[in-house]
Amino acid sequence: MTATAPRRDYSLDGEESVRAVERGLADGDWFHATIDPQRLRELSIRTNRRAAVDTALWFGLAIGLGVLAWSVRWTWWAVPAFLVYGAVVGGSSDARWHECGHGTAFKTGWLNDLVYYPTSFMIAREATLWRWSHFRHHTDTIVVGRDPEIIFPRPPSLGQAVLAFSNVKGGPTLMAGTARHAFGRLDPTTRILVPESDHRRVVWEARVYVAIWATAVVWALASWSIHPVLLIGGPTIYGAWLMVFFGITQHAGLKEDVLDHRHSTRTVHMNPVFRFLYLNMNYHVEHHMFPAVPYHRLPELHAEIADQLPAPLPSTAAAYREIFHAIRQQHDDPSWELDRRVPDVPGMPGPIVQAFDWPSDGRVRLPVQLEPGEVKAIEVAGRAVLLARDALGTLHAVDRICTHGDADLAEGLVIGCEIECPKHNGRFDLVTGAGTRRPIRESLDVHSITELDGGEVEVQINSRSSVSGAST
C-alpha cells in the first residue's frame, strides 16, 4: 500500500455517512433493468412446496452430518466429519437466513420465520438486528458510511481475507456483541440500524443466544469434552468459511458509491451443488434489483434481463481471479476500480399513472378492469393512489408510496389480501392499510372504493389517518 493511500471511514456514524447523504447516495434512486411487469409478478410468486423440499433436504443434511460427527467423535474421522458439518451449519445456513429474511422462500409468512430464527442463530446473527442491517444493505448497497455489510473495506489486504475466511475474528466479535446486547448494552451501530421499538426484542434475542451458547459450554465442561461446543456455537467460527466463500463473490472488489447494482454487484455461474448450498444467490445482481423474486426463479429472471447486465462470471474460479486481482490493485490504490462492460440501456420506466385533478367532492370515477393480483396507479391532484384487486377478487384503494422508503407500490406484488413493497419486501394489509411485515412501521391511508356498473369504480379520497406498526 502506498504511504498516502486514503483510508475511508466505513462506520455508519462517521464523516462518510454524512457525505453519502450530501451526495444523494443515501436511499437513492437505483437503476432497474426493464422487464414486463406481468412477467415480474409471475416470477415473484412463491410456493411452499419448493422451499419445503429444499429446506427439508438441507436440515436433513445438517442433522445427519451432526449425528455422524457425534458418533465418530472419539476417532480421527471426527475431524472431517465436524468440518463438513460445520460448513453446512455455520456456512450454508447463511443462504437460508437470507432468503427467509426476505420472506421469499415460502409463500406462508410464518414458515419463513420458522427457518429464519434458527438459521440466524447458526451464524450468530441476532435475528432482529440483522433483519434491519439487511434492509439497510439493500437500501444503500456498497455505499460507504451507509451499508453495514461491506466485507472488504478499502484498502483490502490478504490478511483481511484470511481473517474473513477463518472467522476467528468475526465470529467471536459477533458473539461478544451479542453478549453485550444480552446485558442491555446496545452499541451505536445497533441504535442506528434498529428502531427503538425493536430494542427490547434485540436484548431478549441476545439473551436466548447467550443461554444456548452457555448451555453448550457447561455441557462441554461437565463432560470434559469439546464436542458439545463443536456441535453448538462452534460452527459459527470454524464453519463460516463456506459463508465467506460464497459471500465474497457478491460485491468484493467492485465499485463503491454507485446507484447501479451492475457496477457494485456480481453474478456468477455456479455448479448445481454450490447453487443448492447457496440458494441461487450467485444471481446476485438480479436479486438486488428485484428482491421480490424467490431464489428458485432467479435463473429465469437472469434469462429475462441478461442483455441489460454485464456478462456474468463463467465460474466461481473466474470470480475469484477477478476478486484477487481487484484486491491486489486496491491494496496499492484504494481508488482503483474494475472496468466492467455495462450495457448502455435505459432503466425500467415507472408504472403508467392515470392523473386526475382534485374533484370538488373528493370522488374520482374511472373505468377499471383488474384481475385478482393486478394493480393500477392513479394520481389525484398529486396524491399517489393504488388500486389493487386482492386474491379473493375484492378491489381496494390505498396510498401508493411505501411509508418505509418511498418505493412505488404499483411495482409491488399482491399476496392474498396484502401488497408487498418491491424494495424491502415489507407488506401492508390492503383492507386496513396497516403494516404487516417489517420494515413497515407506519400504515398506508385507505380510500373507500365502490365498483359501479359498466366496469367503472368510484374512489373517495381520504384525508390522512392512522399509524401502526408491523406485526412480525
Q: Which residues lie near ligand FES (CB under 6 A)?
A: 402, 404-405, 407, 421, 423-424, 426, 439-440
Give whichever of 54 and 411 is closer to ligand FES, judged by the CB atom.
Answer: 411
In the numeric block, which cell numbers belong to residue 82? 465436524
The maximal CA–CA distance of the chain, rounded, in angstroms, is: 83
CA distance 440 to 421: 9
Closest approach of Cβ 67 to ligand FES, in Å?
40
Residue 405: CB minimum distance to ligand FES, A: 3
Distance in angstroms between the alpha carbons of the first and the last residue of the chain: 47
Provide the minimum distance between the beta carbon of 24 and ligand FES in the complex, in angstroms, as a whole number: 17
Q: Residue 301 or residue 402: which is nearer to ligand FES going by CB?
A: 402
Alpha-carbon span 460 to 447, nearest angstrom = 6
Quick check: bond before 155 cis, omega within 30? Answer: yes
Q: How far is the CB of 407 from ligand FES (least distance, A)?
A: 4
Q: Which is nearer to ligand FES, 302 or 400 (CB)?
A: 400
- Contacts made by residues 23-27, CB under 8 angstroms, sequence distance 24+: 23/257, 25/140, 25/143, 25/146, 25/257, 25/259, 26/139, 26/140, 26/143, 26/146, 27/139, 27/140, 27/405, 27/406
Residue 363 neighbours by CB distance under 10 Å: 14
The CA distance from 94 to 279, in Å, is: 10
The residue (of 235 and 291) whose beta carbon lies closer to ligand FES is 291
Question: Which residue lies nearer to ligand FES by CB, 302 or 396?
Answer: 396
Q: Shortest Cβ distance from residue 399 to ligand FES (Å)?
A: 12
Indicate the residue among 181 and 404 with the shorter CB distance to ligand FES.
404
Q: Which is nearer to ligand FES, 8 or 146 (CB)?
A: 146
Dist. CA 60–CA 89, nearest whole Å:
11
Closest contact distance (angstroms) between CB of 73 and ligand FES is 46
Rounded Cα distance between 189 and 203, Å, is 14
Q: Which long-range contacts (CB under 8 A, 24 or more apart) does 433-436 make?
A: 433/398, 433/399, 433/465, 433/466, 434/466, 434/468, 434/471, 435/403, 435/468, 435/469, 435/470, 435/471, 436/470, 436/471, 436/472
Comparison of 136 and 181: residue with beta carbon closer to ligand FES: 136
DSSP-based helix, strand, coil % in the chain, nearest 5: 45, 10, 40
Q: How far is the CB of 351 from ligand FES (least distance, A)?
A: 15
Least Å distance, CB 138 to ligand FES, is 8
